[in-house]
Amino acid sequence: MSLDDRPGGTVGPVPWCEACNRYLTPPTLEEDGTCPDCGTVLAEPEERHKVPWHFWVMVLAVTLYLGWRVVQGILWVLGKL
């Protein structure tokens, strides 16, 4: 298995901050691609992706289903009393 086949996509260069003398992982960079300590620009800002609409439909469906199951559970318990 090559590095490009791993989950998470391709492996790119790790940002190096000359001023701080350390490597930074992409998630530790600020939103604008700067070093969090000294503010040196290290990378282009990443484009934020919106959550797909069908994810929110699934969240709504699961919420409604679980809410209905809670109501059924309460009614079942009240019926046993």
Which positions ≥6 away from 40 have C-beta within 8 Å?
Answer: 17, 18, 19, 20, 34
- The radius of gyration of the chain from alpha carbons, rounded to an integer in Å, stands at 23
Task: Confirm whether 1 is domain-assigned.
Answer: no
Segment 56-75, tens digit of pLDDT: 999 999 999 999 999 999 99
Segment 1-16, tens digit of pLDDT: 454 455 555 556 778 8
Q: Report phi then psi at 23, rounded to 5.
A: -85, 150
Residues 14 and 25 in one domain: yes
Task: Confirm whether 2 is domain-assigned.
Answer: no
Which residues form the domain of 35? 9-47
Residues 31 and 60 in one domain: no
Q: Report phi then psi at 26, rounded to 5.
A: -55, -40
pTM of the model: 0.44
Residues 34 and 63 in one domain: no
Task: Confirm whether 37 is domain-assigned.
Answer: yes
Q: How confident is the model over 46-51, as a mean pLDDT?
A: 75
The predicted structure's pLDDT at residue 15: 80
Which residues, listed in sequence order, are joined to residue 3 by a DSSP beta bridge?
none
Query: Are the CB atoms for 38 and 19 separated by under 8 Å?
Result: yes
Please tell me the total count of domains within the chain: 2
Q: How many residues does the chain have?
A: 81
